[in-house]
Chain A
Amino acid sequence: MIDATTFKPKTVYVTYIAATPDRVWQALTDPVFTRQYFFGFAVDVEPKKGGAFFLRYPDGRVHISGKVMEWSPPRRFSCTWLVEGMKEFGELPECSVAYDIERAGEAVKLTMTESHSWEVPDAILAGGRSGWPAILSSLKSVLETGTPLSIKMEPPKEMMDAVQQAVAGKPWLK
């Protein structure tokens, strides 16, 4: 069993949202919300430490799977994260994603931290680094205006090449 608490943060995104911590928590853990801002994916999470975590396509197939590492409403939600829904990504080691929610004056500070167990090439990190700003900008819009910003995005070509290379060489085993 891997210890995901030792993973190193590689991508951090911070946004401040005019909402309560409870509303931000709900937006992160309720499928009705995530479908609006998370490229159409529905979160499906067993609300306890060790519980199962999924992000599902609209037809129910699994895009991301993981285990809940921390479930502390409405402050911190973290889970392991394995991309199953994209070719070859499922052979990469899993990473972890943590959401921290803190009060900041009359707003809420939301911090997303994506952490990894190995020296991930920037070309692979580029996927999250392009995706998270779109996802979390849209989450903020949903909470503040009621309407998401549905940004269209393709996985970066260099990322797909880098994933193929990594899967072939398996540098995390060295």
Chain B
Amino acid sequence: MSKPKFVYVTYIRTTPEKLWAALTDPQTIRKFWFGITAESDFKPGSPWCLKFEDGRTADTGEILEAVPHKRLVIRWRNEFKPELKAEGYSRCTMEIEMADYYPDFGGKAAKLTIHHEVEGEGGGRFIDAVSGGWPKVLSNLKSLLETGDVAFQR
């Protein structure tokens, strides 16, 4: 049985610069992440956390890599569910590339790939949890960048 891992790809009609800005701007994150926002300066080695609207901490960690418009790697641990926190730190990699596209039919698109897996053994419950969450968050991100509004509020 291989280690549980979450991989998700979405294509968004936007530029790598705008996509990077959306992924690293707390005010934008709040819009597509159902009120949750990030606190970090998104520099390698800096602390990072996600906070609920009421100020409680959802997740904590640090920025491992940050290559603007290309690649963001976050060391990430859940803080609000003991059974998820017990699975320890995970690693989330976000990669941005330009997609090949047919310019006659819809124009440029950025490809965003998310890889998420825990650092140690196991991590099944944590990966289950993020597997449910990421498609919601990334669908909203795509809608926000393409239409100016999110697809739904939780």
Q: Interface residues, chain A, CB within 8 Å of chain B?
A: 14-18, 36, 104-107, 129-130, 133-134, 137-138, 140-141, 144-145, 147-153
Q: Interface residues, chain B, CB within 8 Å of chain A?
A: 7-13, 99-102, 104-107, 109, 111, 135-136, 139-140, 142-143, 146-147, 149, 151-154
- Are B153 and A140 in contact, CB atoms less than 8 angstroms apart? no
Using Cβ atoms and an 8 Å threshold, which residues of chain A touch B99?
134, 149, 151-152
Leading 5 A-B pairs by shortest Cβ distance: A107-B152, A150-B105, A16-B139, A133-B9, A152-B100
B116 to chain A, nearest CB (A): 15
Using Cβ atoms and an 8 Å threshold, which residues of chain B touch A15?
10, 135, 139
Using Cβ atoms and an 8 Å threshold, which residues of chain B touch A145?
13, 146-147
Report the number of A-B residue pairs with Cβ-Cβ less than 8 Å.
90
A-B contact pairs, 16 of them (CB 8 A): A16-B136, A17-B139, A18-B149, A36-B105, A105-B153, A106-B151, A106-B153, A129-B7, A137-B10, A144-B146, A144-B147, A148-B105, A149-B13, A149-B109, A151-B11, A151-B111
The residue that A149 contacts in the complex, of B11, B149, B153, with Cβ under 8 A, is B11
- Are B135 and A141 in contact, CB atoms less than 8 angstroms apart? no
A33 to chain B, nearest CB (A): 14
Q: How far is the CA of A14 from the CA of B152 in the complex (A)?
A: 15
Q: How far is the CA of A140 from the CA of B141 in the complex (A)?
A: 12
A104 to chain B, nearest CB (A): 6
Minimum CB distance partner of B152 in chain A:
A107
Q: How far is the CA of A127 from the CA of B24 in the complex (A)?
A: 31
A83 to chain B, nearest CB (A): 21
Q: How far is the CA of A129 from the CA of B139 in the complex (A)?
A: 17
Using Cβ atoms and an 8 Å threshold, which residues of chain B touch A149?
11-13, 99, 101, 106-107, 109
A159 to chain B, nearest CB (A): 16
